[in-house]
Amino acid sequence: MRQRARPLLQEEIALAETQQLIVWMHETMRDAPGVGLAAPQVGLPLQLAVIEDRPEYSKDITSDRLAERERQAVPFQVLINPRIVEHSEEQVEFFEGCLSLGGFSALVKRSRLVAVEYWDERGQARRIEAQGWYARILQHEIDHLNGKLYIDKMEPRSFMSIDNLSRHWKDVPIRSVRQALGIDETE
């Protein structure tokens, strides 16, 4: 998990093993449930990630928080050898968790907008331009492929259990969370 994963070769994508890995990762991500899963998280150092943000994952989030996060459903996608080719200077901060560090969350600043180039599960070149929560998911998964975890970018004072987050902070605006935790706005 802490080393850069190796890129897949074009001819490796069509292999039965790679296609089965994609199916297995999709099932594993849904079972967790999560919105993304990178091959290094399942012990394979490959530049391969899957993402999907299903509508039911945000059904209990208030409309104000959904708007604040710019969160909408994202259909299932396979990203092979993805790379961020553009990103906004503007950053937004929200709580993030990770299947590899289950049960915890912290505030993480990320670019609000990104453009990502990658190959899909058929080896076709693709480009995504994403904003808000979708951009956050992409950056989080690409970090995994580069040996990084959200805890490398988190606001340390905000690290907490999911239970604590759900009990006290889930419907609180980020600015209010920062103030309550004594985090300087200039940080």
149 in Cβ contact with 104 (< 8 Å): no
Q: How far apart are CA 40 and CA 53, in angstroms?
A: 20
C-alpha angle 37-38-39 in degrees, rounded to nearest 5: 125
From 141, 155, 185, 187, the catalytic residue: 141
27-to-24, 37, 67 alpha-carbon distances in Å: 5, 10, 28
- 141: annotated active-site residue: yes
Bridge partners of 107, per DSSP, are 95
Q: Which residues are catalytic?
A: 141
